[in-house]
């Protein structure tokens, strides 16, 4: 899809320029008894084969919308015209068949997820694209053009946000009180998915209270969904430019988000596997000693920030940097930055991990045994186990207007798609 230059006219909103603009929306959501059948994993955590397996025998699965190529001939290019058209047709079918129903009034929702002992509560509402454009919705990661354009085309064709952007905000006592009050009410949905994560959704009776409360929040942070938020802003700009009567309050100015307080979020490590080396393993290990103290101790997971664990030739070792980065630089101090700057780029010639065929990434939810498996199966030469990035580090990078290396954070549990859909009309 060619990228067009869009002339953006400024907003003409009579809303304060300081705080967030959060709004209730008329959701499309599963009919009674359908939530567990509809709700699916996000589009970007499964490939086509995995999506097809998960949706097998379940025509109501939202995977038919977010991974519509599973309903087309095997080998179909997921970025071809037919996939976007099929996704739209599948979404319309769920509406027509009554699997999804439309709220009569705009609402805001509470969405909880429980994975083991960990529970997090998010506010589901829509956020204004102007807040993204002006930096009130802060980012910490670059987007890739091909993925951004895919999301632009997907949302534009669907005329809907079918998957929410995952946002974090600094804890608010006012919001916490509103959330506590709704927890004791009867939920709209409550089910446990096949992965053991429990999902519960409530509806706030008075969405204006939340709109006002978030109007006192100066910023939110994209935890996951950089491509979805970037594409929402581009679609808003496209439609704004095409509308001579634009006011800033049209539905296309808002995108679906789930906003969680920082204290409830859990970041896991995002580990690396090296698929090929530019030279021999001996050459690699020799070069590594210039930058790190290496201790072959059998420890698979870093015990603290500043340590990196490496698996090579059947042995786990702990790497400790010999030279510490500038502590005033919130990006340089990240363990993923140390690995990138002292190992991946200078020794392995991996300048841009997004584009390299010599590296892959494994979410920390799979554990270090998965890293060992990659190496033992011959899919990788070696693996690095990372210490998780903290929420404080994420906020510090975003507040400084800087960007982390790719794949710096892995949030778990993942948000389910299809529970609440926002249309741009």
- pLDDT value at residue 145: 87
- Give span(s): CATH 3.30.1760, the chain: 270-387
Residue 2: pLDDT over 50: no
Average pLDDT, the chain: 94
Spell out a b/e string for 246-255, using b for 16 or more CB atoms within 10 Å of the CB, else e: bebeebbbbb
Residue 119: pLDDT over 80: yes
- pLDDT value at residue 18: 62
Asked if 318 contacts 302 with a C-beta cutoff of 8 angstroms, the reply is: yes
In tens, the pLDDT along 368-421 reads: 999 999 999 999 999 999 999 999 999 999 999 999 998 999 999 999 999 999
- pLDDT value at residue 134: 94
Average pLDDT of the residues in 278-305: 97
In tens, the pLDDT along 162-191 reads: 999 999 999 999 999 999 999 999 999 999
Spell out a b/e string for 400-416, using b for 16 or more CB atoms within 10 Å of the CB, else e: eeeebbbbbbbbbbbbb
- pLDDT value at residue 14: 42
Average pLDDT of the residues in 282-295: 96
DSSP track, 366-412: GHHHHHHHHHHTTS-SEEEE-PPPPHHHHHHHHHTT--PPSS--EES
Average pLDDT of the residues in 83-91: 98
In angstroms, the first-to-last Cα distance of the chain is: 24
270-387 to CATH, choices 3.30.1760, 2.60.40, 3.40.50, 3.30.1490 = 3.30.1760
Asked if 151 contacts 234 with a C-beta cutoff of 8 angstroms, the reply is: no
> What pTM was computed for the model?
0.91
In tens, the pLDDT along 305-336 reads: 999 999 999 999 999 999 989 889 999 999 99
- pLDDT value at residue 324: 86
Residue 213: pLDDT over 60: yes
């Amino acid at each position: 899809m060619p990228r067009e230059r869009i002339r953006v006219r400024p907003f003409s909103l009579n809303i304060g320029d300081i705080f967030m603009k959060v709004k209730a929306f008329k959701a499309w959501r599963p009919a009674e008894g359908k939530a567990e059948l509809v709700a699916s994993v996000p589009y970007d955590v499964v490939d086509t084969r995995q999506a097809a397996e998960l949706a097998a025998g379940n025509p109501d699965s939202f995977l038919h919308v977010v991974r519509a190529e599973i309903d087309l001939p095997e080998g179909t290019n997921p970025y071809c015209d037919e996939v976007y058209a099929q996704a739209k047709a599948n979404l319309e079918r769920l509406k027509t068949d009554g699997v999804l129903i439309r709220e009569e009034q705009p609402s805001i929702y509470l969405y909880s997820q429980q994975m083991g002992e960990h529970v997090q509560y998010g506010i589901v509402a829509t956020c204004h694209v102007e807040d993204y454009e002006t930096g009130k919705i802060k980012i910490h990661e670059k987007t890739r053009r091909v993925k951004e354009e895919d999301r632009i085309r997907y949302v534009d064709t669907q005329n809907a946000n079918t998957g929410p952007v995952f946002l974090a905000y600094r804890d608010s006592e006012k919001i916490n009180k509103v959330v506590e009050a709704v927890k004791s009410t009867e939920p709209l949905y409550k089910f446990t998915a096949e992965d053991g994560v429990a999902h519960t959704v409530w509806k706030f009776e008075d969405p204006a209270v939340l709109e006002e409360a978030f109007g006192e929040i100066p910023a939110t942070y994209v935890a996951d969904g950089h491509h979805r938020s970037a594409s929402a802003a581009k679609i808003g700009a496209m439609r704004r430019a095409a509308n001579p009567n634009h006011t800033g309050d049209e539905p296309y100015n808002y995108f679906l988000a789930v906003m969680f307080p920082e204290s409830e979020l859990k970041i896991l490590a995002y580990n690396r596997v090296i698929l090929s080396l530019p030279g021999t393993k001996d050459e690699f290990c020799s070069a590594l000693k210039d930058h790190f103290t290496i201790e072959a101790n059998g420890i698979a997971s870093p015990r603290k920030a500043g340590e990196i664990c490496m698996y090579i030739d059947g042995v786990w070792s702990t790497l400790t940097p010999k030279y510490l980065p500038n502590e005033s630089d919130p990006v340089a101090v990240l363990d993923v930055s140390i690995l990138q700057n002292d190992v991946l780029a200078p020794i392995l010639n991996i300048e841009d991990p997004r584009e390299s065929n010599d590296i892959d990434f494994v979410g920390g939810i799979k554990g270090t045994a998965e890293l060992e498996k990659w190496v033992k199966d011959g899919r990788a030469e070696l693996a690095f186990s990372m210490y998780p990035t903290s929420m404080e580090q994420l906020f510090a990078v975003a507040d400084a207007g800087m960007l982390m290396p790719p794949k710096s954070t892995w949030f778990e549990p993942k948000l389910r798609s299809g529970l609440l859909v926002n249309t741009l009309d």
